[in-house]
């Protein structure tokens, strides 16, 4: 049985997250991820770029796409990220 993922409250995630970086996977060309970093530049977690854009209904050409992605992800930072 898999354990249910719990997410940090938005305010706590906002304090924890320093950057969200779109990156290419060096082992899989044309596969992009969104890596979330804390203030110590440590990787907290990552998300599949295409999946996030689709789930959040964000058009990549939208001038506010980056802002919308950040907002979406700050609601989805797992609570175990505090342990990193």
From first to last of its 84 residues, the chain has per-residue pLDDT tens of 678 999 999 999 999 999 999 999 888 888 999 999 999 999 999 999 999 999 999 999 999 999 999 999 999 999 999 999
pTM of full prediction above 0.85: yes
Instruction: Say if residues 73 and 47 touch (Cβ distance below 8 Å).
Output: yes
- Report the pLDDT value the prediction gives residue 37, as an integer from 0 to 100: 98
- pLDDT (0 to 100) of residue 1: 60
Residue showing tokens 């990193």:
84
């Amino acid at each position: 049985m898999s354990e249910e993922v719990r997410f940090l409250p938005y305010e706590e995630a906002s304090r924890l997250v320093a950057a969200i970086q779109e990156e290419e996977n060096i082992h899989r060309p044309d596969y992009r991820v969104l890596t979330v970093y804390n203030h110590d530049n440590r990787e907290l977690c990552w998300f599949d770029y295409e999946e996030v854009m689709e789930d959040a209904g964000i058009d990549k050409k939208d001038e506010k796409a980056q802002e919308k992605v950040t907002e979406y992800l700050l609601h989805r930072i797992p609570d175990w990220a505090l342990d990193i």
